[in-house]
Amino acid sequence: MALATRQSPSTARTADDTAVVTAMRHFVTGVTVLTCGVGDEAEGVTVSTFSTVPGEPPMACVALRSGSRGLRAMANSRVFVANGLAAAQEPLARHFARRGRPRGLGQLPPEAWLGGLADNVPRLSGAVAWLECRPELTVPLSDHELVVARVVSAVHSGGTPLVNFAYDLHSGPSTSAPRKGIERDSS
């Protein structure tokens, strides 16, 4: 297997770069809101770059724009929650994607929030899954930073996820029976 080498970034986009970005947007990704902080310091940011890494220990990673409000909030937090949004939560995805959104729990009605997990980081009510993550490594990449985190707890409620495909939000496939906890492969 050949390994790809990293090319020097250029400031101008070429037609090939545009084609690459367009093709990348045709990979289906789940829509996730990352939440961190508590009370008036609670912060959330919508991402479609969240990914899990199975294994021991279970890990997750997310790319956030360098210097962004979401990255600054996560850098100041011991833990964050990845809220896997349900299809009906498109308005929440759009809310947490806005740059001018307010901070704190008061930005949403009280029923939009669930109590936090172990560190009291708030979760979004109605999500299909929640992962509590502890950041372990941040790697600068291009104009983003990749945050690698250990998954310390997990809850899956079932339902239909919200997914991002080709510049638009869609309903994903439904799941049934809710399962709690981290599932391990027994093989």
Residue 115 placed within a domain: yes
Q: Residue 15: left if φ>0, alpha if ψ -120 to 50, beta else—which one?
A: alpha
- Sequence-separated (6 or more) residues with CB below 8 Å from residue 128: 84, 85, 86, 156, 157, 158, 159, 160, 161, 175
Print the domain residue range for 142: 34-175
Residue 123 placed within a domain: yes
Residue 158 placed within a domain: yes
Q: Is the pLDDT of residue 1 over 50?
A: no
Q: Can you tell me the distance from the alpha carbon of 111 to that of 126, in angstroms, rounded to the nearest whole number? A: 10
- Considering only residues 3 and 105, tell me which one the structure prediction assigns the higher pLDDT: 105
Q: Is the pLDDT of residue 25 over 90?
A: no
Residue 21 placed within a domain: no
pLDDT per residue over 160-173, tens digit each? 999 887 777 778 87
- The 3-class SS string of the chain reads CCCCCCCCCCCCCCHHHHHHHHHHCCCCEECEEEEECCHHHCEEEEECCCEEECCCCCEEEEEEECCCHHHHHHHCCCCEEEEECEHHHHHHHHHHHCCCCCCCHHHCCHHHEECCCCCCCCEECCCCEEEEEEEEEEEEECCEEEEEEEEEEEEECCECEEEEECCEEEECCCECCCEECCCCCCC
Q: Is the pLDDT of residue 185 over 60?
A: no
Residue 23 placed within a domain: no
Cβ contact 163:88 at 8 Å: no
pLDDT per residue over 98-141, tens digit each? 988 998 999 999 999 987 666 788 999 999 999 999 999 999 99
Tally the domains of the chain. 1
Q: In the structure, what pLDDT confidence band is assigned to residue 177 with cuts at 50, 70 and 90?
A: low
Residue 14 placed within a domain: no
The CATH number that applies at residue 45 is 2.30.110.10
Main-chain phi, psi angles of 135, to 5 degrees: -60, 135
Cβ contact 135:76 at 8 Å: no
Residue 25 placed within a domain: no
Residue 152 placed within a domain: yes
Q: What's the predicted TM-score (pTM) here?
A: 0.81
